[in-house]
A and B are shown apart, each in its own frame.
Chain A
Amino acid sequence: MKKINLFHTCYWLLACLLITGCDQDGPDYVDELDVVYTNYDDSFNFDEQLTYAVPDSIIEVDDIDFDDELISPDFIDPIYGDVILDNIVANMDNRGWQQVDKDADPDVIILAAAMQTTNLYYYYDWGYWGWWYPGFYPDWGWWYPGYYPPVVSAYRSGTLVLQMTYPAGIGVNDNIPVVWTSAINGLLEGSTSSINDRLKNTVDQAFIQSPYLSK
């Protein structure tokens, strides 16, 4: 008859207990890691604004140093960019806004920027928009009236930043008021159609959780 070794019995009991006690679950799918953040200037009257303009490309933010120069930035692939821009337009139109050309004195302008970094601030250089923004002046900068954007730090992820600016409200310090912002973050994993589905859903969500944008 085999002799039972007490030390080994205790050892295996302990190992089983430790494994049982430490086994935890986590997210199973990439889209479960998608996060949509929005914030806005609550003193701004969105109801009084009607028209908006949106560029036809989404800039890709990297580490360009503009130094008051007009440099054309990189743009993200239209296969993704068009999905984002189409959804922005569809959501704005559905909420009673009217799209106009950037030179038709729009009430607000929506800028979209994508970033793929490991650690970044919400801030990126205003110079990225010199190629498109009406009346662009290199000394301008961002201004978030009454609220502060968060620090975004991410790993192997992409962040899409949407900024709704108010061109008529340029401040005395040459800052462009950003009256609404959204940061959409998620893992850069999956097929093109999968990523586009997630982009569509998350852009929609940014508008769903911003009811003050509806007319």
Chain B
Amino acid sequence: MKKLIAIIALCIATYSAKAQELQMESITSFNYSIGIPVGNLSDFISKVSPLGFSIDYKRAITPNIYVGGEFGMNNFYEERSYQTYTEGTASISGIQTRYNTSIPITITADYIYTANNQFKPYFGIGLGTVYNYREIDLGLFNSTINTWFFTIKPEAGVIFNLNSFTGIKLGARYFQTFNTKDIDAYSYFAIDVGFVLMHF
């Protein structure tokens, strides 16, 4: 029995070592995302949002450069205290609730340091679009704006290997959007904790 266990352990170790020597073909990650509004978005909603996720898939085009795509969502929400808003001669009082949902869809290019088997730092950039849904509720009344932004997204982080094929990712993305006719440009950070699947 001891021999059998030793043989199995040797096989696994050999297979893992082989996998690490192999070129990592692709990476898929499922991320929980915390949104931190900055700039214009912070003026609209200042509260950090725990409501977010992203999914990305990248394929190697050279040993360290991976290209792919990413889809995600960050929901920002804030309830303002009872206030009176005055414009000209009109005043309105109530509890205002503000929502901003950002759905970024980007193509990405990342450089991943694969020399260390346990830690894989990476940095990259993404270009794409953000579908944005903004809503202001006051009592039973609401106003909504839907718009599409162009976005640029630098990103950096590190992947901790759990074994040869899975890992945990810690990363930070910064989304910078550009002015549209409906809403001015805004930006936010997304801090991600993800589960990574590596394919060889």
Residues of A that sit less than 8 Å from B by CB: 6, 10, 13-14, 17-18, 20-27, 32-42, 146-147, 150, 153-155, 157, 185-187, 205, 209-210
Q: When the two chains form their complex, are residues B139 and A33 in contact, meaning their CB atoms are under 8 A apart?
A: yes
Residues of chain B lying within 8 A (CB to CB) of residue A10 = 28, 30, 197
Cα distance A14–B54 when bound, in Å? Answer: 9
Q: When the two chains form their complex, are residues B197 and A6 in contact, meaning their CB atoms are under 8 A apart?
A: yes
A29, closest chain B residue (CB): B95
Q: When the two chains form their complex, are residues A22 and B73 in contact, meaning their CB atoms are under 8 A apart?
A: yes
A130 CB to nearest B CB, Å: 29
Contact of B73 among A21, A186, A210 (CB under 8 A): A21
Residues of chain A lying within 8 A (CB to CB) of residue B28 = 10
A5 CB to nearest B CB, Å: 13
Interface membership of B122, Cβ < 8 A:
no
Nearest 6 CB-CB pairs, A to B?
A: A35-B139, A17-B53, A35-B94, A21-B53, A13-B30, A39-B90
- Residue from A10, A17, A33 having most chain B Cβ neighbours under 10 A: A17
> Chain B interface mostly helix, strand, loop or mixed?
strand
Q: When the two chains form their complex, are residues B52 and A32 in contact, meaning their CB atoms are under 8 A apart?
A: no
Cα distance A33–B82 when bound, in Å? Answer: 10
Q: When the two chains form their complex, are residues A24 and B75 in contact, meaning their CB atoms are under 8 A apart?
A: yes
A26, closest chain B residue (CB): B97
Cα distance A153–B142 when bound, in Å? Answer: 10
Can you report 30 A-B residue pairs in the complex whose CB atoms are below 8 A from each other? Answer: A13-B30, A20-B32, A20-B51, A21-B51, A21-B52, A21-B53, A21-B74, A24-B75, A24-B99, A26-B137, A27-B79, A27-B97, A32-B95, A33-B95, A34-B139, A35-B94, A35-B138, A35-B139, A35-B140, A37-B93, A38-B92, A39-B91, A42-B89, A147-B89, A153-B141, A154-B141, A155-B140, A185-B140, A187-B140, A209-B93
Interface membership of B186, Cβ < 8 A:
no
Cα distance A186–B93 when bound, in Å? Answer: 12
Q: When the two chains form their complex, are residues A35 and B93 in contact, meaning their CB atoms are under 8 A apart?
A: yes
Residues of chain A lying within 8 A (CB to CB) of residue B33 = 21
Residues of B that sit less than 8 Å from A by CB: 28, 30-33, 50-53, 55, 73-75, 77, 79, 84, 86, 88-95, 97, 99, 137-141, 195, 197
Residues of chain A lying within 8 A (CB to CB) of residue B93 = 35-37, 205, 209
Cα distance A153–B138 when bound, in Å? Answer: 13
Cα distance A42–B197 when bound, in Å? Answer: 66
- Residue from B31, B79, B94 having most chain A Cβ neighbours under 10 A: B94
A214 CB to nearest B CB, Å: 14
Residues of chain A lying within 8 A (CB to CB) of residue B137 = 26-27
Contact of B91 among A14, A24, A146, A210 (CB under 8 A): A210
Contact of B92 among A6, A32, A36 (CB under 8 A): A36
Residues of chain A lying within 8 A (CB to CB) of residue B140 = 33, 35, 154-155, 157, 185-187
Cα distance A32–B197 when bound, in Å? Answer: 46
- Residue from A21, A147, A186, A187 having most chain B Cβ neighbours under 10 A: A21
Cα distance A34–B95 when bound, in Å? Answer: 8
Contact of B139 among A42, A186, A209 (CB under 8 A): A186
Contact status of A24 and B77, CB under 8 A, knowing A10-B30, A14-B30, A35-B140: yes
Q: When the two chains form their complex, are residues A37 and B75 in contact, meaning their CB atoms are under 8 A apart?
A: no
Cα distance A14–B94 when bound, in Å? Answer: 37
Cα distance A54–B36 when bound, in Å? Answer: 53
B95, closest chain A residue (CB): A32
Residues of chain B lying within 8 A (CB to CB) of residue A34 = 94, 139
